[in-house]
Structure 1
Amino acid sequence: MLILLFFLLSPAVAVTERCHPDDKAAILKFKNSFSNGPQLLPMWTSDRDCCDIFDCDETTNRIIDFSLTNSNLAGTIPDVIGDLTYLKTLRMHKMPFLVGEIPRGVTRLKYVTFFDISWTNVSGHVPSFLEELKSVMILDLSFNNLSGPIPSSLATLPNMIGLDISRNRLTGSIPESFGHLVSPALQGLSLSHNMLSGEIPTSIGKMKIYQIDVSRNNLSGDASMLFGAMKSTSVIDISRNNFEFDFSRVSFMEETLVTLDISHNKIYGKIPTQILKVFMLQFLNVSYNRLCGEIPSPWKLRYRSEGFDKTSFIHNQCLCGSPLAQCK
């Protein structure tokens, strides 16, 4: 009781604020750069410890995770975002009223590993200066209004394991440099739902990519370099392009391939019987091509009790056999 009385009668001890003053100044400038910032971010105030709002490093008290999702902030990304120099995660996701270009200030984020500006109305080109983010591992610029070519300099990012610039309005070809990525550990490459044209660089076939999606573009030529029995790819989606090559000559990743979609192209030849050994396969679509011959069977799939229905094979030149009509 005496100890409790002592604390009740003692003067209040000031609690030291953890937030670094430079980071506090940066987030307040960020907030006030938007006309509706004070309304939508009422908790970001000068008398609030920003480490109560954001994740901070316990040693340096610097903000390391700046994430905004499902926000109606209206305006452009302010250059001051680069003043949060110790960020490891930058995420602006599902912000439909975010417009303008990606500011060069982001190049000051030398420690960022997860860079995500997606599902916004950010426009302009994919900035070539993003090559300066040498620590980035995941670069996600999907679902925006970005246009123009893909900068070849993105291939110089030494630690990148995932690149997603799908669902934009990108034009031009896939840079040859993408077949010579500096990073040895790229796992995912998504360029789908753009307006890319030309051929896939043959050098990409030498890479160890676990998931590649170039669907819904205007790409053409040969994409067979993405296949190979010695590869470890799990997802290949080249659908809705203008690819044209002999499917009967490809070989499959028997132990790793899970998703294969080559639909809506001009691919010809037979379906190789080796596909029956791809026991992990869960999704297959070869429809709307120029394939011929008998559909291989029987399937022996680990995660499917039976093979694939006719929607996986329809609208080819002369495919036959179950689940389509019998071969004559």
Structure 2
Amino acid sequence: MRTKLFFLLILLSQVASCLSELCHPQDKTTLLQIKKELNNPTILSSWKPNTDCCKMSWYGVTCFRSNNHVRDLTISHDNNLTSKFPLSIGNLPYLESIYFDNLPNLIGPIPIDSISKLLNLKSLTITSTGMSGPIPNFPPHLKNLFNLDLSSNHFSGTLPRYIYKLPKLEMIYFYNNSLTGTIPSSYGYFNNKNLPSLLLSHNHLSGKLPLSLARLNTTVIELSYNNFEGDASMLFGSNKATREIYLTQNMFTLDFGKVELSKTMTTLDVSHNQIYGKLPMGIENISWLNVSYNRLCGKIPKGGNMNKFGVGSFLHNKCLCGCPLPKCK
């Protein structure tokens, strides 16, 4: 009798444990498969079959309280994780955020077929990894995706032409890769014209900027350390909400005196180009400025924030003069 009672208690405890577990069983199976595809890294040692993935005991996993599905997946700062991107991640139907950062031995291309299944995905961050190959055209049915951060990897090829169709995309971080070619004209036609961030610096991009970029109301645009040439005036505008523009280390040529700065501009770096003409009106209101190594002329204006800038902000121009440079003749 005692033996039967003992086994009954064990059975009841197991049932109670199953009933109290929060993690959705399909998601738990998928997470364990992801762990396997990542070659069972030490960083995921807390992912154990007999524990609950939604009780904050599993590293990098957070769940919805409403349905116990996985909401966010974060894996970062592990030099020992060696694998390709896990294909099973596409089987987490409620996943909103992927954050894979500082995983230098995570290799291979972006598995677009897998990620395309994540209809609730809002933020995709794959940064400082060993991943390579082209940046794919993420399909427009990823209608919730607003943050696309693929910076500091080994991605190559041209910019994806059709990501402008993503209806909520706001942040595009493709900097510090090996991308080539031009900026597609389609980038002036994002469904969300108020695109807060377009960061493409430290690549091998080249050619002229498409005139369609004049349509964007971009808060931060960063094109530095590429091989762009020609006009960049379409990035400016007095009615835009632009705060920061970085164009350094390119071959842009434009009449700077004809540029209209936005009233919200705080940071402007156009150094190391072939920009000519005078300094534009309103430049004294900018908080951080570098126009060095260009072909600018004329008198440096006074007032505003101009007394904050040293010689380094203006040196190596054709004929700029006035404080902090030598007096105008």
Q: Give the structure-2-normalised TM-score.
A: 0.90
Go from structure 1 to structure 2 and tell me whether the alpha carbon gap of 1:132 and 1:194 turns closer, same or farther (over 3 Å shift): farther
Q: Equivalent of 2:25, from 8, 16, 21? A: 21
User: What's the CA shift for 1:307?
Assistant: 2.7
1:70 corresponding residue in structure 2:
77
Specify the SS of the correspondent of 1:203: helix
Alpha-carbon deviation of 1:228?
A: 1.5
**How far is the alpha carbon of 1:273 from its aligned partner?**
3.9
Q: How many Å separate the matches in 2 of 1:88 and 1:97?
A: 24
> How do 1:97-136 and structure 2 match up within 5 A?
97-103=105-111, 104-136=113-145
- After superposition, the CA RMSD in angstroms is 1.7
Q: How does 1:30-69 map to 2 (within 5 A)?
A: 30-35=34-39, 37-52=40-55, 53=58, 54-69=61-76
CA drift of 1:102 comes to: 0.8
Q: How many equivalent pairs are there? A: 310
Alpha-carbon offset, residue 132 of structure 1: 4.3
Once residues 165 and 41 of structure 2 are traced to their aligned partners in structure 1, the CA distance between those partners, rounded to angstroms, is: 39
What is the alpha-carbon distance in structure 2 between the residues aligned to residue 282 and residue 130 of structure 1? 39
Structure 2 residue 281 is the aligned partner of structure 1 residue 268? no
User: Structure 2 matches for 1:207-222, cutoff 5 A?
Assistant: 207-222=216-231
* Counterpart residue identity of residue 65, structure 2: E
CA-to-partner distance for each residue in 1:100-148, whole Å, 9 max, x for gaps? Answer: 1111211111101011111111100001245442210100000000000
1:20 is displaced (CA, Å) by 0.8
In structure 2, the partner of 1:206 is 215
User: Does the aligned pair in 2 maintain the 1:160–1:185 contact within 8 Å?
Assistant: no
Equivalent residues of 2:260, 2:281 under 8 A apart? no
Note if 1:151 corresponds to 2:160.
yes
Report the CA distance between 1:38 and its aligned residue: 4.5
Instruction: Write the deviation string for residues 269-324 of structure 1: whole angstroms up to 9, x where unpaired.
Output: 11134323x2xx221000000011111112x24xx9x3311100011111111101
What TM-score do the two structures reach when normalised by structure 1? 0.91
Q: Distance in 1 between matches of 2:202 and 2:71?
A: 32
Report the equivalent of 1:5. Answer: none
Query: Aligned equivalents of 2:211 and 2:221: distance in 1?
Result: 14
Q: CA deviation at 1:40?
A: 3.0
Which whole-Å CA distance do the structure 2 matches of 1:232 and 1:134 have between them? 24
Deviation at 1:182, TM superposition (A): 1.5
Match of 1:6 in 2: none
> Which of these residues, 291, 294, 299, is aligned with residue 299 of structure 2?
294
Aligned to 1:4: none
Contact kept, 8 Å, 2:261 with 2:282, in 1: the verdict is yes
Given that 1:159 and 1:185 are in contact with CA atoms closer than 8 Å, whether structure 2 keeps it comes out as no
In 1, are the aligned partners of 2:193 and 2:215 still within 8 Å (CA)? no
Q: State how far apart, in whole Å, the 1-side matches of 2:30 and 2:87 are.
A: 10
Q: 166, 172, 175: which is aligned to 2:175?
A: 166
Does the 8 Å contact 1:272/1:296 carry over to 2? no
Shift of 1:213: 0.5
What residue number does 1:321 align with?
A: 322
Report the identity percentage.
41
SS of alignment partner, residue 322 of structure 1: coil
Quick one: which of 234, 237, 261 aligns to 2:246? Answer: 237
- Contact 2:261–2:280 under 8 Å retained in 1: no
In 1, the alpha carbon distance for the partners of 2:327 and 2:194 equals 45
- Runs of 4 or more, structure 1, over 3 Å off, are 129-132
Runs of 5+ unmatched residues, structure 2: 1-11
